[in-house]
Each structure stands twice: as structure tokens, then as C-alpha cells.
Structure 1
Amino acid sequence: MKTNTNQSKDQKNTKRNFLIISRWGEFLDIAYAILLEGNNVKMYIEDKGSKEIGYGFVPKVQDWKKHMEWADIIIFDYTGYGKVCEELRASGKLVFGGSQYTDRLELDRNFGHSELQKHKVKVLPSKEFFNFEDAIDYVKKNPDTYVIKPCGEIQELKQLLFVGNDDEGLDVIRVLKAYEKTWGNKFGNFQLQRKVKGVEVSVSAFFNGKEFILPINITFEHKKLFPKELGVSTGEMGSSMFWAKNSPIFDHTLKKLEATLEKNNFLGHIDINCIVNGNGIYPLEFTSRFGFPQVFIQRAGINEPIGNMLYKIAKGEKFTINVKKGFQVGVFMVVPPFPYDDKKSFNLFSKDSVVIFKKEVKEGIHPMHLKKVNDEWLITGNTGIALLVTGTGITMRDAQKMMYNRVSNVIVNNSYYRTDIGDRWLEDSDRLWSWGLL
């Protein structure tokens, strides 16, 4: 143990070269934090419409492959890079990212479900479809409440996920018909999954190539656009969370995949979203990468430099993450056209809008799709996600109060955000305790 402690002390004083490969520029906040911790950072963004994100915050590069030899560690922030990660590791590079196996866990829902079943994890009944006509016919013959889950690349459009409420599946049939008219064959394959009632909760952990690093993280996502879970699904409007030394949900899901993750050369972060109730734990889907905004809220609860922590994980070290007690919450501040893709509206209402601080205090303010010009924070990209604002506290109410106090210090023209992030905890925690899941 003394050796590990001394190693950690030495690492904190070491300046390293971090090469960050980002799909959409989502990782800016972490890249900026790593830079401010005294490291060298170079960031590459793949998506053309997101190329401006990060300018003025961190050094940017146009071709990340030209900087591989410079890097002490290479970080991939998204799925789809698994093969590249494996090749780089095989060449001797230190890589934080996925593998071909973990890419498939997330992108191929049917494979993810089959792997859970193989590891003796109970899953909800689901069926894959390749056209709308067959799916509509199936719901008519098997009336029930269903969730429509796009697969493959199309699942990135989070508003297309539809959670039905009608016991006969009539609302799902209407949505399927609408998708057929709008998308046709471009929609690709999708799942219909039986819906069950309960608490939606995710468990996640960092993996060092051999085992999970403790503590684990318990997250409650708020996916709908408006308070009280109204409106379209956005993927995320904010989350509440806490760190735990153990969890029955973790033991029944991710923990069972530990040996398989080691076998498949994974060094990174993995999350599994579940519905839980008095009858059991039902995994829904994997996120075998950083969660957004999950990772930024996690950082708010981590007491050690995040760059050094990611380096230790990529190096395969065993250690315990130094985290805050209590709760962490985070809320997105967004602008038009979020959550939709409308370039004309974005250019008209949001592009180059200035983020104004009433008081020059930026603690708990995490830059998202921004650039910095003359020390001003300007909105860029194309999605309308401006900031994530976090708060921490011994109680959920303390964390919420800190977060919304920080929100009130920020002015972003035409911005909107949810005002109830964390409110569900009071009811959810009671139910989880009663089911023996906390």
C-alpha cells in the first residue's frame, strides 16, 4: 500500500501529455480541467459541425494521428473507437477507452441483452424489427405497453426513443406510423421492449483492465425536456447521483461482467441503466463510455485531479477514488433548437451568444458547446447545449440549493433548463430502501 501511495504522490506532480479524441466535442469540460491541473492537452473533434467547440479553452488539432507519439495517454470519449483502442494498446500506447466488445454492448442492443442473459442477468422481454409494418402488426396481435428503442447510429437521436403509456399499445402504433412516414427505410432496425413500472436508476464504475475501481456511482437521470417528466425525451436534462462502496444493483448487473471485460481488453468507464421494483432489477441498456453529463457531475464529487485519476486507470492501477460524501447534482442550460437539429434556428437565436456571469465566480460551471474569444464564452457547435451547472452537498436539498444558486449567477439569452433536478430522490429513495436496493 505504501508503494501505491508514493506512486500517486509522484503522479500528482508529473506534467503529462493528454491527447483527447472526441466524437462531438462533449469532453471539453474534462479536457479543460486536465489542462488547468497543469498537464498538456491536445483535443481533436471528429464531427464537422462541432469543430469550433473548445477553441480558446484547449489546444485543438486537425489530425490526431500525427500526435500519437507526443501523447503519454490517449483518451477516447465515445463508442465506435473500440478497434482503434485495441490496436493502440497492442502497440504499447496507454489508452482510456473502449474495445470492440464494449462498443457492441452499447450499439447492438440485442447483443447487449444476449450478453446479460449469458451472465445470468434477468432482462425484460424485447423483440427486434427491421420494418415498421411488422412491428405494428406485432403490437396489434400482442397488445401491451411498449418502449420503442432505435438501434445503431440512429439511437443518437434521443428524442426518437418513445415510452408508451397505453395498455393496448395504441400510442406506440401511432408513433410507429409517424416514424414510417418520416423516416422510411432510413430508420434502420429497432426494438420493442415491454415496459415495466419502477425506479429508473443507473450504476456505473471505472474499469482498470482487470477489475472495477471503487467506489461505484449511482445515477438518477432526468431525460424529459420539461419538469415533472413532461415533453420529449432529450437524452438528458440533468442528473442526481452519489458514490457508494457497494450496491445490490451493481452486484446483480455490472459485477457479473467483470471477468468478461478483462478478457476483452477494456479500460474505461461503463454504465448500465435499469428499471428496478419490488420484483427485481431489469437492465435496459449499456453505456460503455463516459456518460454525458454524468462524467461532469462525477467530477464535481471527485476530490483528486481527474487527469491523474484517468491516467492511473489507463495504466491498470488498483486504487480507491477519493470522493465527496453526500450527493451531486447537475443541470443542463440549453438554448434553441435543443433538443432538435435545426441549423437555421440555431444560427438565428443561439450561435455566438455570450455567457454572462453576474459575479465572476465559475466554480461548478462546466463549459459544454462553447468557444472562448477575448476571454468571453460564446455558444458554438450546433445542438444548443451551453453549460452544465453542478452542486454538491451532504443532503440532496443542499446539493440542489448550491446548483440553482450557481444557475442564478449565469445569464444566457433564450436559455432554458429544468427546475426539478433531484426532486425525485425523496420518493425514489423510499422505494429503493423498501426493496432492499440501497
Structure 2
Amino acid sequence: MKILMMSKTGRGFGIAHKLSEEGHDIQVFVQNRRCEDALLGVVGFVQGWRPVAAEWADLVIADEVGFGQYAAVLDGFGVPHIGINLIGDKLGSDPAKQIQAMRKVDIQIPETYEFDSPGEAREMLRELWGRDTIGWSIMPSGKVYTGKPFKVRDQDTLEWALEYYAADQAVIAQKLVYNSIEIGTTGWFSGELWVEPFSHNMDDRRLLNDDLGLKVDSMGSVSWAVSGKDMFVDELQKLAPILKAAQYKGPITLHSVASKKGIFAIDITAGFSYDGIEALYELLAEPLSDILIQIGLGTRSENKVRKGMYGVVARLTVLPYPHMPPDYLDKGMPILGVPSSVNSMAHCFLMDISKDGAIYRWAASSGVLMKISASDKNLSSAVKTLYKRIERITTPGVQYRTDIGSRVAEDTDELEQWEYLTPPSFLQSITSLVKSGAA
């Protein structure tokens, strides 16, 4: 199959690599020219996407939001596409639109306020900061973004964060949920219906162990298929009318925080740009390309996955990530230990790497070198295998978290006690045996 990937900054290059490994002809159009050397020698690159989509491609996918304006053009070419949708762009990138959509379909969100300016936010949040307030998530909103999101847990930091924005910057403030657990729920939508099963993922989104350091896209993730339905899936499914009206096709994830007081949605992710997708890849019992083409055509009804398994993935990055872009002088640095066998490469997702003959080299475009994955019925065994594979990769400055998945067992136990989460099917079987006295 001939597949065109459209990308802004190469966030989904690991998926492009994996589709190439499945035996497909992959061409990539990337907007950021700095990323053109990543995957050089692994997949092909094109300077313009229109003629390739019109005359060559069997399928077009976007690895992240931002290409929705071209959906009508691709429809005119008669080529199926995934992740290229105007509503998907809004849901995946605009906090105000996310809140509007979630309110419209009665998805519960934390206590939330929208302000026309930082000054207006400052005045009201001073009044709202009460005994039950542990902090606020502050986000820029609207067409112009003059700053970045902050999580503040004291009034002095709140004052400082609001000074960060331009005077006319629209701002969203969302109350932090005390003693909460964060979890993502992913579903694939075919334009008309959900494609089951759903999956859950728990991401590690900070650079350092124990959730310290800068917040980044992700440093790793654990994913598992949902057996039946649970309260998180129920919340995600509420988006169906919006997705159907937009004819959205592709994966979509609802990120939530849960406490004893309830489940609260905080974010929506559309596309292939985060680590939960690679973790989910470990669970597939069929080629990813089969899923993509059938969802693109709107004919998919069910994905074949290995239930009762955990998929885990970790990002390997290279300094000075994430503080600044790589130095071009480091371009071409050899990456040792990249798997050579087909079986081993099945658990490796190349990102910021080019191939020069038999040698893999750092492309020095993003700093996200690759992702390594593993799977097992036992989470501890999956994590152990993951780090055995990572230990083989050597290059100066490589960095990764060594505690991926460490909070999953405790967090899922608590979510099950609150009756928000259904245990995986193999855990249900063990529980049944214990209750019956057979084990």
C-alpha cells in the first residue's frame, strides 16, 4: 500500500517507520524543514503533498492536528484519509473549543472559568481562592497565544503566571482536582461509529523520574485494552455526535482526572503524536495498516487486539532536549545498538534518526531519538523487558525515565475501588477464582 504521512514536526515519525516495517511504501511531507533528515534512508520524503495525494497515495494520514483545512481537497481527490478534519483540529488544539464540546455533550469537567484578559482572571481568582482550592490550571485561549499553560498552587505564583500573558490574552482557569489520578481513554472513530475495543493509557508527561522536571509531550506510557465498558469509556463515547457530524476518522483520546468526588475530563488529543499509540501498537493482533485503511474507508467495525496484556513504551531523547533544539554540529552522530533483526525492530520506533547504509545516525531535528516498547500479561515483566531493550541503545547524551509504569498498579487499584474502572479480563478471571475458592 502507498501511504502519505503529513506532519508538522515529525511527532508521528515512529508510526511512519512502523508502517514501512510492515512492508508499505511510505512518503512523508513535513512542514518543518529541520525535520527532513529524520528517517532519511528509512522512508521517502516529498516537497509537496498535493500531487502525491492526488496521483499516488492509497491513504493519507496526518500524525497531528493542523491539516483539517485540506480535508475537502483530499475528498476531491477521492483518497481516504485519517486525522485530517477541521473539528478534529479544534478538539485537539483549542482549549476553549474542547471545553465547549465537552459541556455540549455533558462530559463532566473541573470547575472552569473563561476570562477575556489576565486582569479579569486575576480579580476573580483572588476571590475564588478558598479553603478547598489546592490550585489552578491556567491556559491561554483564543486565536492568539502569548504564553504557555501553568499549574499554580499558591497565590503568589498565580499572580506571576498571569503577568506572563499579554494584556489582551484570553485565559482559561480550571480548578485542580485534589488527590486525583490521571488516565487517558482512547477510541477509534470510523466517521460514523466507534471501532471497539477501547483502550486506557497512563502517560508519564514529565522529563524526570517521580514526575519531576519540565512537562513534555510524554516520556512514556502504559496501555491496555478495555474489556467491556467502564465509566471512562462512557465519558469518551459522549463525543460520538460531534465526531459523527464532523465525519472524523482516526484515534481520539479523552484525558481525565479521577478522585472520590468523580471523573473530570481535562483534555482531548486527536492524532498519532503521543506515546499511547505506540504502547497500543504492542497490543495489536493485526497490522496497523489494516486498521488505518479500513477506518479511512469507513468500513472498520472492530480492531483485533490482545486483551489481558499491557503495552509499555519509553522515549529515548538526547540532550539538550527539551530545553532547546539540537545542535546541528551533532548531526550524524552514530546510534549504536539499534536492532537489526525483524523481531527486535518490531519493538523499536525510529524518530530523530537517519539511516546511512547499515549505520543509524542522529538526525538532530527534534531530540526525540526513538521509542522502545514491550508487552506482557504481567506489567512488571513488560517493564523489565522494556529496559533490557533500552540498555542496548548507546549514544552520547541519551536520556530516558527509568520508572515508566511504576504508578499504574496502585492507581488502577484505586480506580477499581472507586468503581470507575473495570479490571482487565485476565484480572477478572483471577478474581473469580479467588472468590470461588478455586485458587
TM-score for both structures, normalised by structure 2:
0.87
- CA gap of 1:260–1:309, structure 2 versus 1, over 3 A, is same
Pairs within 5 Å for 1:90-101: 90-101=76-87
In the alignment, structure 2 segments of 5+ residues that lack a partner are: 422-439
Partner of 1:193: 174
Distance 1:408 1:294 in 2: 22
What amino acid maps onto 1:163 in structure 2? K
Q: What is the CA distance between 1:351 and its match in structure 2?
A: 3.1
The reply on whether 1:148 has 2:138 as its aligned counterpart is: yes
Distance 2:87 2:349 in 1: 31
Q: What is the CA distance between 1:428 and its match in structure 2?
A: 0.2
Partner of 1:104: 90
The reply on whether 1:172 has 2:173 as its aligned counterpart is: no
The reply on whether 1:88 has 2:74 as its aligned counterpart is: yes
What amino acid maps onto 1:362 in structure 2? M
Contact residue 341 and residue 383 of structure 1 kept, 8 A:
no
Q: 1:36 is matched with which residue: 2, 18, 21? A: 21
Among all aligned residue pairs of Structure 1 and Structure 2, give the percentage whose two residues are the same amino acid. Answer: 22
What amino acid maps onto 1:259 in structure 2? P
Contact residue 136 and residue 173 of structure 1 kept, 8 A:
yes
Distance 1:331 1:151 in 2: 31
Q: What is the CA distance between 1:90 and its match in structure 2?
A: 4.8
What amino acid maps onto 2:278 in structure 1? F
Partner of 1:8: none
Contact residue 142 and residue 170 of structure 2 kept, 8 A:
yes
Distance 1:44 1:156 in 2: 28
Secondary structure in 2 matching 1:51? helix
Q: What is the CA distance between 1:108 and its match in structure 2?
A: 2.1
Partner of 2:242: 260
- CA gap of 1:358–1:117, structure 2 versus 1, over 3 A, is closer
Partner of 1:26: 11
Secondary structure in 2 matching 1:430? helix
The reply on whether 1:49 has 2:37 as its aligned counterpart is: no
Partner of 1:354: 334
The reply on whether 1:70 has 2:56 as its aligned counterpart is: yes
Q: What is the CA distance between 1:153 and its match in structure 2?
A: 8.4
Q: 1:162 is matched with which residue: 141, 150, 158? A: 150
The reply on whether 1:415 has 2:395 as its aligned counterpart is: no
Contact residue 204 and residue 218 of structure 1 kept, 8 A:
yes
Partner of 2:385: 402
Distance 1:200 1:214 in 2: 22
What amino acid maps onto 1:18 in structure 2? I
The reply on whether 1:117 has 2:115 as its aligned counterpart is: no
- CA gap of 1:289–1:116, structure 2 versus 1, over 3 A, is same
What amino acid maps onto 2:174 in structure 1? Q
What amino acid maps onto 1:29 in structure 2? G
Distance 1:176 1:381 in 2: 34
Q: What is the CA distance between 1:188 and its match in structure 2?
A: 4.8
The reply on whether 1:426 has 2:409 as its aligned counterpart is: yes
- CA-to-partner distance for each residue in 1:351-375, whole Å, 9 max, x for gaps? 3322101874434121111111222
Contact residue 130 and residue 188 of structure 1 kept, 8 A:
yes
What amino acid maps onto 2:263 in structure 1? I
> What is the CA RMSD across the aligned residues, in angstroms?
2.3
- CA gap of 1:129–1:355, structure 2 versus 1, over 3 A, is farther
Distance 1:407 1:362 in 2: 12
Distance 1:99 1:300 in 2: 27
Contact residue 118 and residue 170 of structure 2 kept, 8 A:
no
Q: What is the CA distance between 1:396 and its match in structure 2?
A: 1.1
Secondary structure in 2 matching 1:225? strand
- CA-to-partner distance for each residue in 1:114-161, whole Å, 9 max, x for gaps? 22111122111222345434333333332241012244688899xx43
- CA gap of 1:269–1:247, structure 2 versus 1, over 3 A, is same
For this pair of structures, how many residues does the alignment match?
Answer: 411
The reply on whether 1:320 has 2:302 as its aligned counterpart is: yes
Q: What is the CA distance between 1:421 and its match in structure 2?
A: 0.6
What amino acid maps onto 2:149 in structure 1? L
Greater alpha carbon shift after TM alignment, 255-264 vs 145-154: 145-154
Secondary structure in 1 matching 2:37? coil
Distance 2:146 2:229 in 1: 29
Partner of 1:275: 257
- CA-to-partner distance for each residue in 1:186-235, whole Å, 9 max, x for gaps? x9544221100311001011111111111111010111111111112112
What amino acid maps onto 2:21 in structure 1? L
Distance 1:155 1:342 in 2: 21
Partner of 2:271: 289
Secondary structure in 1 matching 2:197? strand
Greater alpha carbon shift after TM alignment, 404-413 vs 123-132: 123-132
Distance 1:173 1:81 in 2: 36
Q: What is the CA distance between 1:29 and its match in structure 2?
A: 2.1
- CA gap of 1:191–1:353, structure 2 versus 1, over 3 A, is farther
Secondary structure in 1 matching 2:404? coil
- CA gap of 1:154–1:431, structure 2 versus 1, over 3 A, is farther
The reply on whether 1:249 has 2:231 as its aligned counterpart is: yes
Distance 1:224 1:310 in 2: 30
- CA gap of 1:17–1:358, structure 2 versus 1, over 3 A, is closer
Q: What is the CA distance between 1:331 and its match in structure 2?
A: 0.9
Greater alpha carbon shift after TM alignment, 90-99 vs 125-134: 125-134
Contact residue 51 and residue 381 of structure 1 kept, 8 A:
no
